[in-house]
Structures are given as C-alpha cells and as structure tokens.
Amino acid sequence: MFFLDVSAWTLQNILIRLTAAMVLGGLIGIDRGGKRRGGGARTDAVVCVGAAIVMMTGQCIEIRYPGAADLTRMASQVVSGVGFLGAGSIMVSGHQVKGLTSAAGIWICACIGLAVGIGFLDGAILTTVILLAGLHILPLVEERLYQYSRYVILYVEADEGGTSAEFLHRLKMDGCKVDRFDVDKSGAGMQSFTILTTIRLPRDLKRDEYIEELYRIQGIRSIDMM
C-alpha cells in the first residue's frame, strides 16, 4: 500500500523520520523565506520535527506501556496548540491583513510532522510536493483570473468634509454595486479620513480607467486597489 514503510520501531526508521521531518519542514520554510514571508526555514523545520517527535513519543509509550497512550489525542493537541504560534505571524497593517498564508504554512508543517512521526512518510512527502507546487501555481492562476473580475476593493484617502457622500453617490450613479462601504474618521484631527469599499463594476466600465476618473473627484487624495 505504501512505497516507504518506516513505521517499524527501529533506530534506522527513527533517524529517517526525524531527518524527513527536518527536510520537509525546511523546504516549506525556505520557499516562504525566499519570498520574505513567514518565519523561514528554521521555524517550519522546528515545528515539523517537534510534531514528529510527539507522535514518535506516543508510539514509544504504546510499545513500552500498551494502552497507556492515545496517539489521536496527542496529535490533536499538536494541531490545536500550534495555532497559537501561527497566530503570532498574522499582522494587521493599516487596511491589510498579512501572514495568513504563513500561519497556515506553520500549521501544515505540524500536520506533516505528525504524519512523518507515525511513519506515514508517503503522505508527508506528497503533501509537501503538492503544497509547494500550489504555492507557486495558484498565485499565477489568481492573477490571471482576477484580471477579469468585476469586483474591486478600493482603499481611499480623502479630505475631511462631504467627500464620502459624494464618492458613494458617484459610485451609484455610475451603476456600481456597493457591497461594502466603511468610513474611518480616526484621522479627523489630521483633516483626512479613509474609505474601504468593495464594489462590482458594470461591464461597460474599464477598471483602471474608472479608478482614474474617481481619483479626479475633489477631495480624494489617493486610491489604492487591493
């Protein structure tokens, strides 16, 4: 059923599991670190090896003291506990949330480590290969598909006054469907505020040209498309 059977409790298999956990976690970390994202190779490798040793410890307990260990419970504790580590990589910067993919990467490194630790090396390797391929292919697919999307998220900085009402009125007059329109006036003391809006453009409007038109509204300082 499996190409690589390292489930037997031998010194050779223990070394193979720990090495595989280090390599697979390191590969994911190197890929994220190369893009200047996430904690990098060391963090992901440590998480993967740590998860592996948890499962190996559970197997060792089961061999020495049959019935004393619950491997499924130990695995679930790792999966839930590593979430706190992943949450530390999520940052909210202004109007953007960063680190979600890195947090998910740390979580899946723990899952891969659990698979390696119990001897499911085939699944761990295949998961790593598919994950790395997906991290490189999916952004290209997203970029291609989003070029044709009629939905746009705009982050607008405007002068204090009636600009928000005028901006919203312009969107509706042009036939845009407004799904979200949040106004943040925390910068009112600086005579400015921000608008975060999600709109659906009509088919007769070209996205880049329309944003240039919106930028010409009096009181608009900047418009960023997310």
pLDDT (tens digit, 0 to 9) for every residue of the chain, 226 residues total? 567 788 888 999 999 999 999 999 999 888 877 766 666 788 889 999 999 999 999 999 988 888 877 888 888 889 888 877 777 666 655 556 677 788 888 889 999 999 999 999 999 999 999 999 998 898 888 888 777 778 888 888 887 766 778 888 888 888 888 888 888 776 545 567 788 888 888 888 888 888 888 888 887 888 877 7
Tokens of 69: 């260990």
What's the pLDDT at 23? 94
Dist. CA 99–CA 173, nearest whole Å:
37
Which run of H or of E encompasses 222? strand 220-225
Query: Which one-letter DSSP state was computed for residue 179?
Result: E
Please answer whether residues 175 and 202 qualify as being in contact, where contact means their C-beta atoms are separated by less than 8 angstroms.
yes
Q: E strand or H helix at 220, and its extent?
A: strand 220-225
Q: Which distant-in-sequence residues (6+ apart) come within 8 Å of 96 by Cβ?
A: 226
Which residues fall within 8 angstroms of residue 156, CB to CB, at 6 or more apart? 167, 194, 195, 196, 197, 214, 220, 222, 223, 224
The predicted structure's pLDDT at residue 52? 94
